[in-house]
Amino acid sequence: MSEGGAEMIDILRELTNLPWCWEWVPRTERGGEVRAAWTEHMVDLFEDWTAEGLAAARLAWPSEEAGIEFPFTSDMVGRGAAEWLLERADGLPSWARLAWGVAYLDKRPRWAPIPVVVQFRRPTAEDPAYLMDFVGANGWTSDARPPVVDYVTTPIGDGLRVFALARSADGAAFGRVDAAMRLDVPPSGGAGGVSVDVLLHGVAFEMSLMAVLGPGVEQLMQLVAAECAPSFDGAPASHTFATTSAEGPS
């Protein structure tokens, strides 16, 4: 292999192993106090992340010529991101949650906030292979080329992750990441064991994000599995499920 080819492989390996941090967006039923505290948490994060960039932009702002003061603040950025995520979370059905992620490059946030919809569904077939159709493992009509399928193993169940380049109705290119896994949650806290199918969906329009979103979603899959499993001290899982819904756990 040429030196240039080996260098490219090292770059790709580094990109696909970037650390991600994932959080859940609180829905309306969590209450206004929880959502307000979460919003302030987002403001604090974005103030730290954007301070340097906003300072440079402020210095370059032609305020004297334009006659307009610099219009952006870190508070506005974080609060706007929080409002956007809260609105998206509230629009989901009861059995779905919205996660948002940030990917770090050279120990600094590079992509954020990246939303991923996570659905928790009651299995409708004993064989989880039917989930492959839900994530377009064989391709969808919007896909520009056949998808790449990677299999994922977690401590309480297995799944797959699908990445495909696709085009929207107006011709815009994007990358889709769809994933699914069957989790067998053991009994805990007096509750019996339960099986749950988890579907994840995210999209990327930026080429560099397309390269890293798949591994990021896989990290989110591991987080979901960990939060569905009982803790080592016997405490109940972070996610609990009611299996009365025809669509999915509520």
Other beta carbons within 10 Å of 96: 19
In a domain, 217, yes or no: yes
pLDDT of residue 44: 94
Per DSSP bridges, beta strands 148-154 and 157-167 are: antiparallel
Beta strands in 5-141, from DSSP E residues, in sequence order: 20-24, 96-105, 108-121
In a domain, 221, yes or no: yes
- What residues form DSSP beta bridges with 100? 23, 115
Walk across the sheet containing 20-24 and list its strands: 20-24, 96-105, 108-121, 194-204, 173-185, 157-167, 148-154
**Percent of the residues in the chain that have a pLDDT greater than 70, as a whole number:** 80
Give the chain's domain count.
1
The structure's pTM equals 0.84
In a domain, 9, yes or no: no
DSSP state of 197: E
Query: What is the Cα–Cα distance from 238 to 84, expressed in whole angstroms?
Result: 25
Helix (H) or strand (E) run with residue 199 in it: strand 194-204
In a domain, 236, yes or no: yes
Domain that holds residue 216: 95-250
Q: pLDDT per residue over 197-239, tens digit each?
A: 999 999 999 999 999 999 999 999 999 999 988 654 545 455 5
In a domain, 84, yes or no: no
178 has a pLDDT exceeding 60: yes
In a domain, 57, yes or no: no
Q: pLDDT confidence of 9, banded at 50, 70, 90?
A: very low
Q: pLDDT per residue over 62-107, tens digit each?
A: 765 566 776 777 788 899 999 999 999 999 999 999 999 999 988 8
pLDDT of residue 176: 98
The CATH number covering residue 180 comes to: 3.40.1000
In a domain, 62, yes or no: no
Per DSSP bridges, beta strands 148-154 and 108-121 are: unpaired
Q: pLDDT confidence of 11, banded at 50, 70, 90?
A: very low
Q: pLDDT per residue over 39-65, tens digit each?
A: 999 999 998 887 777 776 667 777 655
pLDDT of residue 72: 75
In a domain, 90, yes or no: no
- What residues form DSSP beta bridges with 121? 197
